Amino acid sequence: MDMYGIVSSVKRDYIVDLVRQGKRVDTRMLDQFREVSVEVSPIKSAQGSALVKVGKTQVLAGVKLEHAEPFSDRPDSGVLIVNAELLPLASPTFEPGRPDENAIELARVVDRGIRESEAIDLEKLVIKSGEDVWAVFIDIYALDHDGNLIDASALAAIAALLNVKLPEDEAWTLSEFPLQKKPVAVTVAKINGKLMVDPCLDEESVMDARITMATIEDGSICAMQKGGIGHFSREELEQAYELARVKAAELRAKLG
């Protein structure tokens, strides 16, 4: 089932007409995020955790570090694994059971931003080459879904990594967790030719397309993901990047 839900034709027409006027259903500007908050270490038993709220959307991220065998093609690299779970309590469109395509996409987008930016220095997580490394597991739980789970999840993942408590293990020889960059994702939705950031659930349900851009501190893009059947022109992609760059800096400031 589609994670973006369904709206009536009347509501759809209303949202599209508002966007045509440069307005939104919740009175925000097109380039304005909803209120964003970041709470670190809400789970005391986790090695790292964060609760991110973007409007009514709530996402919890937890981090754990465990011993693991490295991948055969990367014997001198630690392991990064991101999982996402869309809890049924978060939305009537979410069903229990194995992760569906929406959960898989969510995990992949968050993973790609962290991996491609080389946010974690995975080579520093090697204990014995080819045999024993540290695996970083990031588990993402959607608690309340009112749109834009991707940006909330990416922010929660980085916030959790920034607050990792080092494992009490003699194999851990580093003085700190090797996080060297802070990738932040910003999703830009397109409705009737207009671009907007942080789409709420109603806006997601009528959008023509979306583009998520993850950037690091200098504004460089480290990951992108397009969704929806619509398209973006070159000019629209340039506008989307500028929105993503500026808004990512605002979100990154929430990390402290």
Average pLDDT over residues 95-113: 87
Count Cβ atoms within 10 A of the Cβ of residue 127 and give its class: 0-12 exposed, 13-18 middle, 19 or more buried: middle
The CATH architecture one would assign to domain 9-255 is 2-Layer Sandwich (3.30)
Average pLDDT of every residue of the chain? 94
Of the listed ranges 1-5, 27-31, 60-64, 80-84, the least confidently predicted one is 1-5
With cut-offs at 50, 70 and 90, classify the pLDDT of residue 4. low
SS3 116: helix
CA distance 69 to 126: 10
With cut-offs at 50, 70 and 90, classify the pLDDT of residue 8. confident
Note the pLDDT of residue 98. Answer: 67
CA distance 108 to 103: 9
Q: Is the pLDDT of residue 130 over 60?
A: yes
CA distance 252 to 256: 8
- How many angstroms separate the Cα of 126 from the Cα of each of 48, 121, 210, 236? 20, 10, 38, 42
Q: Is the pLDDT of residue 208 over 90?
A: yes
- Determine which helix (DSSP H) or strand (DSSP E) holds 173, and give its type and residue range: none
CA distance 19 to 49: 36
Q: How many CA atoms lie within 13 A of 89 on its CB side?
A: 5
Q: Is the pLDDT of residue 5 over 80?
A: no
Domain limits, the chain: 9-255
Average pLDDT over residues 197-217: 97
pTM exceeds 0.85, yes or no:
yes
| Strand residues in 114-234 grouped as ranges (E) | 126-128, 132-144, 184-191, 194-197, 209-215, 221-227
Note the pLDDT of residue 93. Answer: 72
Note the pLDDT of residue 239. Answer: 98
- Determine which helix (DSSP H) or strand (DSSP E) holds 109, and give its type and residue range: helix 101-116
- Rounded to the nearest angstrom, the gap between the alpha carbon of residue 189 and the centroid of all alpha carbons in its chain is 15
